[in-house]
Structure formats: structure tokens, C-alpha cells
Amino acid sequence: MTRFPNPTDLPLEKLVAQLMVVRTTGFLFDRQLQYPQWEADLARLQKLIQTYGVGGVILLGGSAAEVALKNQQMQAWAALPLLICADIEEGVGQRFGGATWFPPPMALGGMAKTDLAGAVAMAEAMGQATAKEALAIGINWLLTPTVDVNNNPANPVINVRAFGETSETVSVLTAAYIKGAKQAGALTTAKHFPGHGDTATDSHWNLPVIAHDRDRLKAVELKPFRHAIDNGVDTVMGGHLIVPALDEGPTTFSKAVMGELLRGELGFEGVVVTDAMVMGAIADGYGNGEAVVRAIEAGNDVIMMPLEAEGAIEAVIEAVNTGRIGRSQIEASVARIFKLKESLVLQTSPVNAEWLQKTQAQDEAAQAVEEIMYGSLEVRRSPFFDLQPGWRNIIFTDNLLASPFIHRTAPAIAIPQGKGGETKIIDCAMGSGELPRDWLPQDTVIQIFLRGNPLRGIEAAVDCAKLWLKWLGDSGRLRAVVVYGSPYVAAELKVLIADEVSWVFCYGQMGDGQAIALGELWGDRLGDKGKDGMFA
């Protein structure tokens, strides 16, 4: 195990660099950068790790095998082992191809409404499976679970990322998730403190205002954080918020929130990390260096995704040299970071290629996915469900180009095709959402892929879907509606559907969810899986 130096013995520039987590792609080659304004290319990444000595890296994109190789490379560059993290709220497969993709956490909240004990067991299984797969490819820090209470259906940024709509449900399910992840040995994160659930504003663009008084915050928003802390969560991530009952300014910069409340009242002794500092709520108003300095002044230990890491490091060094921030505060933050790193078995050994194939762990993860999906599924199969030859399979989406779920071999296309359906795709983003004028009435199944998405709203797409459902319903040939993703969207649309029309709602939009939902529609419990298991 690596022996970490005493922070008091490190030069200031190396201390400050340990506070920074920089972003890069999981793909291996620079030409594969998807967000070059945020992601370091290989040369810059190597310099940030080798020369500056940054403390961590956040990854997005690539396959599990590529990520494993990249993580080995980065750890080999580092003088002190790195914390390597990812937003994998729906399992490793959400971000990295080939690994297990779970339904969103709110599926467990849906399951809990009828089977709380089963939901708790599956939350633990999800945490353990996610941690096992993450560690196997060199990701040692899970930026999960989301412990926000999503009690605002219009929330565009939390939404189905939350485990539920009440503090009680969120508390018990996130505690189980943390237990599972800790059993596997990965670090966990409770986010977004002090609670990002009751807002209709996306903090990627603007600062949401949480206008509740302290009593309400304590009873609802703060309860799951206290529960997560009591159950050993390793890190707490703050949200970019305005909570007037706590402080007039952004919570990210608030000593009252990050210090007095989180450290003092809630007793958290672990690592406090900011949300991404490139988000518009912070970056547009405060820039790079000043934002980072203010965040550290407030008591944050780790800076996630500064706009420009080199400049952020220089700004903090200057703040220490001018007396704005005490060196002892930086040393205390680094001591907490080193304590986390010492608790890990950091992967530097060659990739285990056998894991990248089908393993027992993956079988267990796939079983957990299936149980969560079935446990949260909503089905109403009409006795009148009968499709005449020439029937249409209409797939509706708000943005096809942004969807990883709809492709040539996706079950949403392949299963209906195998049953004689002709597929048509309606893409609102490409302007194909207008009602056709020349279609002859035919039996129709419509599959709708809509969920709350950070960075883009779906209100226009929901309105468009309503028009299509009314038009198809008025034709008398609508036979079934399958909605994937958001229970809030599903509730809005279900009231438009006649009782004699079959109805399925599934939280998961990925292939496994499609196969299970369509299997239920046609009365096939396991869907059209094929002999090799669930769809990718």
C-alpha cells in the first residue's frame, strides 16, 4: 500500500494540486474527444498529473476496456495515486460501454411503493455491482448516490436521478446503496448538499433558489444527508444553489452551509467536494480562479472540474501567499483526501481481461437489473390488444441524435419488426413531430422515450407527444402505448389513453428495459432476450 507523505512536508503547489479533479475522456485517442472545451487531451492530462500533481480525474465516455487501460496509464503517471471518479448513477454501463446499465435510481423508489424490502435489497445489490465493476476498470470513487428528494416533478436536473420523492424513501434506499458499494470497496458520494430536489431550475445554467425555512429543510432536504453520513458515506458533494434560509449567496461559497451546517450540525468529517465548477450557475458569474478560491474559503476540500485547472491552482497559491486562505486549511483538506486514498486498493495492476468478458459478477448485476425493472414496471394489458397485418411501430423521442437507446438492433425496433410491425421514428429535435396528413388508419403501437434531461428541456416534446396520442386515439387504431423514462411524463400521458388501449411504463430506456417492457406487452415474461442474455 502506498505511504502518503505528511501534508506539512509538501510544497504548497503540490498541496493545492491535490485539491483538483480534472476531466478527460475515457476514450484512448485525442481525436475521440467529445467535449474538448472541458476534457484534457493526453499531453495536457499527462502534464496535469505528472508536473502539477492533481489529485484526481473524472471520466466520461469510452468502453469499459478503454477506461481500464486509460486508468492504468494515468496511475502510472502519478507520483501519488489518483482518485478516479465518474457520474455512474445508473451503473458503470451508463457511461462506459460493455458494463452493466441499471435503470435510474427512481426505479427503486417506484419498486419501494409496493415492495420496500425488495427495493432495499436491490439498492444494496446495485451499489455493490456498480462498485465492483467500477473498481475492476480502475474507477475508485463513485459520484453516487444522489440523495436529493425529488419532490418537484418539474425538476429538470435531478428528476429520476433521485431515489424517490420523500425523505424516508430516499434515506433508506441510499443507505442500502452505500452499504453495497462499501462492501465492494469503492468510495461513495452523497449529493447535492443541502438538497437540490425542490426546484424547476437547472443549475447547469442558473442558480436554483430553494425557498424553504430551516424547519422544512431539516425535515425533508437534510434528512437523507444526515442518514447517509450516519451510514458512512465517504464524501459529500455540494450543489450550486441559493438557499436564503441558510445564506444569501451560493451555497458553494457559504461557510454557513459547508462549514457550520455540514461539518458542525451534521457532524460530517469526510471530504467535501464541489459540483462541477464549469457549470453555468458558477462559471458565468464568477469565472475560474475567484470561484475556486471562494469554494475553498467556504470549506470545500476538492474542486471538481475547474474551468482551467492550471489557473485554479495558481489562484489558490496566491490566496495562500496573500493570507486570504491559511496553509493549515489546505493541509487539513489534503489530510482528509489522503485518508480516503489510503482506504482504497488503488488499481495499478494489469487489466483482468476475464472480467471484461462474461463473469459471475456480471450475471449477478444483470439479475439485479431485471429484478428492479420488473419490480418497478407498470402494465395494463388490454384484452383487445390485437394487431392487424401492416401495423405501425412508432418510436417517439425528443432528440434522436442524443439518444444512445435507439439504434438498428435496439429491442424497441427489433422486437416489433419480428412481429410484423413497420417502424417509423418521430424526432422532435429534427422537426418530424408534425402530424402527418396522408397516413391511412392502421393499428399502432407508440413507444415514447422521454425523461428529464439536464442541459435540455422536454416540455415541447411532451406537448408534441400529447398531440400524437390524441391524433392516434381519435383514429380508433391506437392499440398500445409504451413510455420509457420519466414517471412524471408517464402520468401526464396516461390520462390521455383510453382504458381499452394497452399501457406499459418502464423507468429504463436502455435495451434491457425495452425488452422487458415489450415482453410484458406481448405476454412474454422474459421479452425477446435470445440465448445469450439481456440486450446491451
- Provide the 10 A C-beta neighbour count for residue 218: 16
Shared domain check, 251 and 319: yes
Each residue of 179-235: pLDDT tens digit?
999 999 999 999 999 999 888 666 666 788 998 999 999 999 999 999 999 999 999
Which residue out of 204, 227, 301, 528 is catalytically annotated?
A: 204
Shared domain check, 405 and 283: no
Single-letter amino acid, residue 140:
N
Question: Is 443 assigned a catalytic role?
Answer: no
Rounded distance, CA 50 to CA 15, Å?
A: 14
pLDDT top residue among 450 and 532: 450
pLDDT at 347: 47
Each residue of 148-183: pLDDT tens digit?
999 988 888 899 999 999 999 999 999 999 999 999
Each residue of 21-53: pLDDT tens digit?
999 999 999 999 888 888 999 999 999 999 999
Shared domain check, 233 and 97: yes
Question: Is 204 assigned a catalytic role?
Answer: yes
Band the pLDDT of 349: cuts 50, 70, 90.
Answer: very low
Shared domain check, 78 and 174: yes
Shared domain check, 333 and 221: yes
For the chain, give the mean pLDDT. 91
Rounded distance, CA 480 to CA 497, Å?
A: 9
Shared domain check, 181 and 74: yes
Each residue of 352-361: pLDDT tens digit?
556 555 455 6
Shared domain check, 398 and 274: no
Q: At residue 330, does pLDDT exceed 80?
A: yes
Band the pLDDT of 532: cuts 50, 70, 90.
Answer: very low
- 207, 201 Cβ separation under 8 angstroms: yes
Rounded distance, CA 107 to CA 307, Å?
A: 34
- 485, 449 Cβ separation under 8 angstroms: yes
Range of the domain at 389: 377-521
Band the pLDDT of 456: cuts 50, 70, 90.
Answer: low
The answer to whether residue 233 is domain-embedded is yes
The answer to whether residue 362 is domain-embedded is no
Rounded distance, CA 23 to CA 38, Å?
A: 7
Shared domain check, 435 and 329: no
Which residue out of 87, 148, 275, 443 is catalytically annotated?
A: 275
The answer to whether residue 354 is domain-embedded is no
Q: How large is the C-alpha radius of gyration of the chain?
A: 24
Angle between helices 327-342 and 309-321 (to 10 degrees): 130
Strand order of the β-sheet with 378-380 is 378-380, 502-506, 478-485, 444-450, 392-397, 422-427
Rounded distance, CA 300 to CA 271, Å?
A: 8
The answer to whether residue 350 is domain-embedded is no
CATH code, 475: 3.40.50.10870
- 101, 130 Cβ separation under 8 angstroms: no
Shared domain check, 213 and 70: yes
The answer to whether residue 432 is domain-embedded is yes
Count of structural domains, the chain:
2
Single-letter amino acid, residue 113:
K
The answer to whether residue 442 is domain-embedded is yes
CATH code, 52: 3.20.20.300
The answer to whether residue 4 is domain-embedded is no
Band the pLDDT of 293: cuts 50, 70, 90.
Answer: very high
pLDDT at 208: 86
Among 195, 174, 178, CA closest to 186: 178
The answer to whether residue 157 is domain-embedded is yes
Return the ∠ at Cα 145 (arms to 516 and 140), rounded to 5°: 100
pLDDT at 355: 55
Across 327-347, average pLDDT: 90
Cα–Cα distances (Å) from 385 to 163, 443, 499, in that order, read 33, 10, 11
Band the pLDDT of 281: cuts 50, 70, 90.
Answer: confident
Shared domain check, 440 and 327: no
Shared domain check, 240 and 148: yes
Across 264-268, average pLDDT: 97
Shared domain check, 226 and 84: yes
Rounded distance, CA 280 to CA 174, Å?
A: 28
Query: Of 287, 322, 342, at which residue does a domain stop?
Result: 342
